[in-house]
Amino acid sequence: MIHAYQEIYLSKAQSVLGDAFDYAVNTCRIDGSDFVKLFIASSVSKRMENGEPACLTGKSGIEIVRGIVLETKGQEIQTEPREHFGRSGEYWIGWAVAYYQWYSGRKYGDIFRVVSFEDLQKMYFTLHEADITKFADIMDARMKEFFSETNLKRIRTVYGLTQSELAKRSGVSLRSIQMYEQRNKNINKASADTIYRLAKALGCTMEDLIER
Instruction: Please report, in tens digits, the pLDDT of each residue of the chain (212 residues total).
Output: 567 788 999 999 999 999 999 999 999 999 999 999 999 999 999 999 988 888 888 899 999 999 999 999 999 998 888 877 678 999 999 999 999 999 988 889 999 999 999 999 999 999 999 999 999 999 999 988 888 889 999 999 999 999 999 999 999 999 999 999 988 888 988 999 999 999 999 999 999 999 87
What CATH number is given to the structural domain containing 197? 1.10.260.40
Kindly state whether residues 125 and 205 are assigned to the same domain. Answer: no
Domain range spanning residue 34? 7-146
Residue 196 falls inside a structural domain: yes
Kindly state whether residues 198 and 100 are assigned to the same domain. Answer: no
Give the separation between CA 135 and CA 27, rounded to whole angstroms.
26
Kindly state whether residues 135 and 169 are assigned to the same domain. Answer: no
Domain boundary among 146, 165, 189: 146
Kindly state whether residues 62 and 120 are assigned to the same domain. Answer: yes
Give the separation between CA 70 and CA 98, rounded to whole angstroms.
22
Kindly state whether residues 38 and 116 are assigned to the same domain. Answer: yes
Domain boundary among 128, 146, 164: 146
Kindly state whether residues 89 and 45 are assigned to the same domain. Answer: yes
Neighbours of 12 (CB within 10 A): 15
For residue 105, give the H/E element and its range: none
Kindly state whether residues 109 and 166 are assigned to the same domain. Answer: no
Residue 1 falls inside a structural domain: no
Kindly state whether residues 140 and 155 are assigned to the same domain. Answer: no
